[in-house]
Amino acid sequence: MADLSKVVEILLGGDKDKLIAEVQANLNGGADGKDILNEGLIKGMDIVGEKMESGDMFIPEVLNCAMNMSAAVEILKPHLPEESGSAKGKVVIGTVKGDLHDIGKNLVAMMMESAGMTVINLGVDIAPEQFVAKIKESGAQIVALSALLTTTMAMMKKTIDAISESGLRDQVKIMIGGAPVNQDFAEQIGADGYAPDAGSAARLAKELVA
């Protein structure tokens, strides 16, 4: 595998043009898109998170790194493995209310699209009633909830409860993901599934509509 430590280093340095040039140089050199994502960009964002926690990086710098990562993902998109097989199905995806993290959720949406699904990406900070309204309007078969904060995990349950109260629970499969959640939590709150990363999320979505 290519040495991707420079991608990590440049991501941490916060220069978007340099990051894009480095990602492109790695692609030109034959590096695997998935490796650049996992061993470069995601690894870099993990270090950003550690620095944020220890007070060595502040929110504006973190946000800048996040925006640069999103720009780099755009370059990587055509080089990421497509999920095999064409699955039909409509997914409503969003980051739950109170939570503004969207990079992971957008990767999940991208992988689902590459698996042939129609994805309605509601964005971040999405209230339970917004999910309910979109399910009604779109007739989606899957609802995909993302959360990155321990404080917003409870909003996943509130969203599932709102879907049940609106009488739509039997029409949709609900899947969850994001760093603080796991399979046990999914079962506890009555979700139909949990996926740890974007690739497995697309596979799970296909299974849920099969």
Binding residues vs ligand B1M (CB under 6 A):
42, 45-46, 48-49, 52-53, 59, 62-63, 66, 98-105, 107-108, 144-146, 148-151, 175-180, 195, 197-198, 201
Please identify which residue in the block is written with the tokens 């097989």. Answer: 85
Least distance between ligand B1M and beta carbon 120 (Å): 13
DSSP secondary-structure letter at 168? -
Distances from the Cα of 167 to the Cα of 48, 120, 141, 147, 158, angstroms: 42, 21, 14, 24, 14
Least distance between ligand B1M and beta carbon 115 (Å): 13
Task: Give 31 or 91: the residue with its C-beta nearer to ligand B1M.
Answer: 91
Task: Give 21 or 63: the residue with its C-beta nearer to ligand B1M.
Answer: 63
Q: Which amino acid, 54?
A: S
CA distance 195 to 9: 29
Q: Which residue from 12, 100, 5 is spatially nearest to 64, judged by alpha carbons?
A: 12
The residues pairing with 176 across neighbouring beta strands, listed in sequence order, are 145, 194
| Centroid of chain to Cα 145 | 9
Task: Give 30 or 80: the residue with its C-beta nearer to ligand B1M.
Answer: 80
Least distance between ligand B1M and beta carbon 181 (Å): 8
Task: Give 144 or 160: the residue with its C-beta nearer to ligand B1M.
Answer: 144
Please identify which residue in the block is written with the tokens 């503004």. Answer: 100
What token pair was written down for 41? 């960009």
Least distance between ligand B1M and beta carbon 19 (Å): 14
Task: Give 89 or 177: the residue with its C-beta nearer to ligand B1M.
Answer: 177
Least distance between ligand B1M and beta carbon 171 (Å): 18
